[in-house]
Structure 1
Amino acid sequence: MIGIVDETTAGREQSAWHLEIFEERLSLREVIRRRVFQEVAEHNARRSGPFRGLVQPSETERALNGPGRYEHRPVDPQRQYERAVEAFGRNGFIVLVDDRQVDDLDTQVDLRTGSEITFLRLVPLVGG
């Protein structure tokens, strides 16, 4: 069982949750894929509430839906995974595995029971 923590530079976004990973070594790319596919599966099974995942809808999608408007729609896990990989590539978030930054998607990370993976979303500075 691996702990997943989402943070921004302002602090934790939500409480930690767990991801079942049985391998001792995986590429960061595969860790991200498993995380995204699990959160999409949970969202699609819940059938209510907005999607809260590693990557969120684009500004255009939010504008089309309007503020406060929400209709549950199934989320495509492959599309969300591709968006997560793109976000990582443009420094939308960094990943820490047991407090060690991993900066390449193909890096093999060592995982053990109790490992914690932190996804730190980087928020652009206003005016900078």
Structure 2
Amino acid sequence: MGYVTFVDETTTGERETGPRLEVAQERLTVRELIGRRVREEIAAGRRRRKDPEGQTELVLKAFAANGFLLLVGERQLTELDEEVDLTADTEVTFLKLIPLVGG
């Protein structure tokens, strides 16, 4: 059993540590990681809607449309069904991409 710490970061260098979740599994897919993050935000009241499935679907679509990058350590995850090996304390970074001015 280990912990996953979610971190929000922007390309301008802003960084905020988010929730830390206890995880019993040694491996999770990107889809499962995103789902757990969304459910945690809803439970903590950081998301307005109380529909975890609908919220998760929106975030999965944003990931697929390159609205943000997902990094585990130095490794970028690109596929929803890609599996992540979890260690005792894994850091998962949600890197929000900021569009260029005029682009």
Q: TM-score scaled to structure 2, two decimals?
A: 0.89
Deviations 1:25-84 (A, max 9, x none): 1111011001111111110xxxxxxx46xxxxxxxxxxxxxxxxxxxx543211110000
Runs (4+) of structure 1 moved beyond 3 Å? none
More strand by share: 2
Which of 13, 16, 23 is the matching residue for 1:14?
Answer: 16
Correspondence for 1:97 = 72
The aligned amino acid for 1:2 is V
User: Aligned-pair RMSD on alpha carbons?
Assistant: 1.5
Q: Percent identity?
A: 49
Aligned-partner Cα distance in 2 for 1:39–1:16:
9
Matched, 1:112 2:82: no
Structure 2 alignment gaps of length 5 or more: none
Q: Provide the aligned length of Structure 1 versus Structure 2.
A: 101
Q: TM-score scaled to structure 1, two decimals?
A: 0.73
Deviations 1:67-124 (A, max 9, x none): xxxxxx5432111100000000100001001221010010011001111100001111
Compared with structure 1, are the counterparts of its residues 74 and 87 closer, same or farther at alpha carbon in structure 2 (3 Å cutoff)? Answer: closer
Structure 1 alignment gaps of length 5 or more: 44-50, 53-72
Compared with structure 1, are the counterparts of its residues 26 and 15 closer, same or farther at alpha carbon in structure 2 (3 Å cutoff)? Answer: closer
Aligned-partner Cα distance in 2 for 1:36–1:16:
11
Correspondence for 1:82 = 57
> Which structure has the greater CA radius of gyration?
1
The aligned amino acid for 1:77 is P
Aligned-partner Cα distance in 1 for 2:32–2:88:
17
Give 1:126 shift: 1.3
The aligned amino acid for 1:104 is E
Give 1:15 shift: 2.8
